[in-house]
Amino acid sequence: MGFPHCPICIAVAFLTACITVTRGYFFYFLYKEAENKRALPLVLLND
């Protein structure tokens, strides 16, 4: 199977890539929002 694959496989690969990138941004923004609203940090530093 060479590079010019069937159009269905290309569409599925493109859709999977878009979903993966979108999910990554979604979790990043969720983490940043939770970090901004958190009262105590996850790791307490004792100096």
What pTM value is reported for the model?
A: 0.55
Short-list 37, 38, 15, 34, CA closest to 26 = 34
User: The tokens 């269905």 sit on which residue?
Assistant: 8
Per-residue model confidence as pLDDT tens digits over 1-47: 566 678 888 889 899 999 999 999 998 888 888 877 765 666 666 65
Residue 8 vs residues 5, 15, 24, 43, 47: alpha-carbon distances, Å: 8, 10, 24, 47, 58
Residue 47 has a pLDDT of: 57
